[in-house]
Structure 1
Amino acid sequence: MIELAALDMAGTTIDDYGMVYTALQQAVEETGAPVASASLQLWMGADKVSAITALMELGGQEPAPDRVAAAFGRFRTILDDGYRAKPPVALPGVPEAIATLRERGIKVALTTGFDDGVARPLLDMLGWSVGPGAECTVDALVTTSDVAAGRPAPYMIHRAMERTGVVSVAAVLAAGDTAVDVQAGRNAGAVSVGVLTGKLTRELLAGLPCDHVLDSVADIPGLAETQR
């Protein structure tokens, strides 16, 4: 039986109108490294310092620590400006799905390739709260600030288990919209779910190591009922 749903943020539970893609691509290209669409998609969902480092290398630029740090600073500035211009919103049906899961006794955690400095203000924009009790939107938030390595490492999912008191990976459902999201779910030993609210098609997601492909997080309560 599912006891915890660990859900990605941008593109999975939150519609940020593609601003993460835009900010990451622009920040890397400002270093002189061209960013191919396939390479960008490959690194979406990963922690952004690792993504910038890899994309700079792929684009023929030396990812010296100071250059990566500067590019990460630009990423955060571009993202912040974009979010202020067009604030993110919850994807359709997601708040209701989260509420349904929690009403059934299933804990809900958000995991993200953002650090605390990006993730927490984003939740504030949405008016979402984190913590135990029915008055909160979700039970836990885990960011790249909390772990030694981001996706596709399983550590954020395991930290979400720790924070919600879930001890069996077989009782965890992990959902996301990118390749590294579903790989992290598989690496964690969870039921790995790909959702179609991001940039990947059903065919691409079906070719990745995920157990299920759903249209949206809004469909997870129905899937969770079958995982017994």
Structure 2
Amino acid sequence: MTYQPPTRLQAAILDWAGTVVDFGSFAPTRIFVEAFASFDLALTLEEARGPMGVGKWAHIRALCDEPAVAERFQRRFGRAPTDDDVTLLYERFMPLQLEKVGEHSALIPGALEAIAALRERGLKIGSCSGYPRAVMNKVQALASAAGYQPDHVVASDEVPRGRPSPAQALANVIALRLDDVAACVKVDDTAPGLLEGRHAGMWTVALRFSGNTLGLSWERYQALARSERAAHRQRIDGELASCRPHYLIDTIAELPPIIDAINARLARGETPSAG
């Protein structure tokens, strides 16, 4: 048998918060701030956004490893934060997340139309998230009621290793019975999610404005002047450059033409590893 590279995309693997739902990715970040506050530990929204994209326990561990946060913990408790402390914070985070995730789970404008356009092109829709299954169940139900039903969902606690490992993306490949990772595109707003796609051997598309890198609500984003958007594009493109995304776009609404561009590259014999 001879290897034949794919000539068209078979699937898009979409992130959730900041990609399809929750413009600005506020649901997890604000709850991190509240969870830390319940232990009398200050945490800014900007600090909470830092490790976004990884699983939530790992996110809290990364926050506790930040020098400024570790120093606050040391002052408050007289010692460095341990994994047991991270687990206590996580156990406080989870019920808050389950209670309040619905407040920030509206579909991102243009998402339904873009996903419909992908399906018209014959793509299956996979998905994965930094949320654990308990939270994903609630997010999925809300999204379904709003009209979004992906073909498969992989939560962060359903694989041995979370992002930037390729495990969640590859679990979608298996579940959707896809022929080749080169026939998949991973769409995400965070560095760990983009690296997940790269590590899985997929095409990758970075979203600049709907997620964590900009961190603004839809209303505040809409109010930005053209010059402000241009400045943010330049900054965000620089921040994500080390992830080597194949494409960068503002929001998922701009995804369908990118699918056409990738299909054209596949038809020419190009693969994601070459880009």
- Give the structure-2-normalised TM-score: 0.73
Whether the aligned pair in 2 keeps the contact of 1:28 and 1:55 (CA below 8 Å) is no
Give the structure with the higher percent helix: 2
Residue 250 of structure 2 aligns to which amino acid in structure 1?
D
Distance 2:196 2:156 in 1: 13
Match of residue 11 from structure 2: 4
Give the match for residue 58 of structure 2: 50
Partner of residue 14, structure 1: 21
2:27 and 2:105 in contact (8 A); partners too: no
> Within 1, Cα distance between the matches of 2:197 and 2:259?
15
SS at match of 2:153: strand
1:203 aligned residue: 234
CA distance in 1, matches of 2:235, 2:163: 18
- Unaligned regions of 5+ residues in structure 2, if any? 1-7, 74-79, 214-231, 264-275
Q: Corresponding residue for 1:132?
A: none
User: Alignment partner of 1:140: what SS?
Assistant: coil
Shift of 1:217: 1.2
Which residue identity is paired with 2:247? H
Letter in 1 for 2:15: D
Cα distance in structure 1, aligned partners of 2:19 and 2:211 = 7
- Residue 139 (str. 1) matches residue 155 (str. 2): no
- The two structures, once aligned, show a CA RMSD in angstroms of 2.3
Equivalent residue for 1:116?
133
The alignment's TM-score, normalised by the length of structure 1, stands at 0.87
Aligned to 1:213: 248
After superposition, give the CA deviation of every residue in 1:127-180 in whole Å (9 maximum; x if it has no partner): 259xxxxx9821110111221111111111111111111132211111111121
Contact 2:19 2:189 in 1 (8 A): yes
Indicate if the aligned counterparts of 1:9 and 1:111 stay in contact, CA closer than 8 A: yes
Name the aligned partner's letter for residue 54 of structure 1: A
Query: How far apart, CA to CA, are the structure 1 residues paired with 2:81 and 2:172?
Result: 31
**Larger fraction in strand:** 1
Deviation at 1:198, TM superposition (A): 1.1
- Range with greater deviation from structure 2 (106-115 or 174-183): 174-183
Distance 1:36-1:89 versus aligned 2 partners, 3 A rule:
closer
> 1:141 and 1:28 mapped to 2: Cα distance?
29
Counterpart of 1:223? 258
> Post-superposition shift, 1:71?
1.1
Partner residue, 2:181: 169
1:89 aligns with 2:97: no
Distance of 2:199 and 2:50 partners within structure 1: 17
1:192 Cα deviation from its structure 2 partner: 1.3
Which sits farther off after the overlay, 164-173 or 198-207?
Answer: 198-207
Which consecutive residues of structure 1, in runs of 5 or more, have no partner in the other structure?
130-134
1:128 and 1:165 map into 2 onto residues whose CA distance is 26
Question: Which has more radius of gyration?
Answer: 2
